[in-house]
Amino acid sequence: MANRNQVAGQVTIEVDGERMPTSGESTMQIGGIQRENVPGDYDAGSFMEKTAPARCTVGLLRKDGVSLTALRDIDNATLIHRADNGQTYVMRNAYFVEASDFSQDGKAQVIFEGPPAEELL
């Protein structure tokens, strides 16, 4: 059981069971319902809902076997974002969106999106 005082510091990201070599700069937006204010003439507090996709930005290390070309071909994967504090999110049917070029410091950012992520409890 995770310590209730521990804040997420390290994450592992797997795509279809393969652990990605991350740089410690990854983010996860879980997606789901977003509410937008709809103002009225004499009424405040109205809103409408939209469903936003999940979005995982992966800080990737340039290591042997890492291929942006292969990542670009991903269009129906299971992405697992697991933090060291015990929080785990799963994005099913994830697809590649874009990637930055590898920089001289050996890093790139790869972005995946998909349906809203599920939290594993």
Q: pLDDT tens digits, residue range 99-113? A: 987 778 889 999 999
Q: For residue 121, what pLDDT is reported?
A: 87
**Tokens standing for residue 2:** 């995770």
Q: Which residues contact 28 (CB under 8 A, 6 or more apart)?
A: 11, 54, 55, 56, 57, 81, 89, 117
Sequence ranges of the domains in the chain: 11-120
Q: For residue 100, what pLDDT is reported?
A: 83
Q: For residue 1, what pLDDT is reported?
A: 56
Name the one residue in this structure whose structure tokens are 């874009």: 98
What is the tens place of the pLDDT at every residue in 65-93? 888 889 999 999 999 999 998 899 999 99
Q: For residue 45, what pLDDT is reported?
A: 84
Three-class SS of 4-70: CCCCCCCEEEEECCEECCECCCCEEECCEEEEEECCCCCCCCCEEEEEECEEEEEEEECCCCCCHHH
Rounded to two decimals, the pTM is: 0.88
Q: Domain 11-120 belongs to what topology?
A: Elongation Factor Tu (Ef-tu); domain 3 (2.40.30)
113 touches 90 (CB < 8 A): no
CA distance 38 to 96: 33
Q: For residue 77, what pLDDT is reported?
A: 98
pLDDT at 23 over 70: yes
pLDDT at 119 over 60: yes
Dihedral angle computed from the Cα positions of residues 115, 25, 77 and 117, in that order, rounded to the nearest 10 degrees:
-30
What is the tens place of the pLDDT at every residue in 29-59? 999 999 999 999 888 889 999 999 999 999 9
CA distance 32 to 120: 15
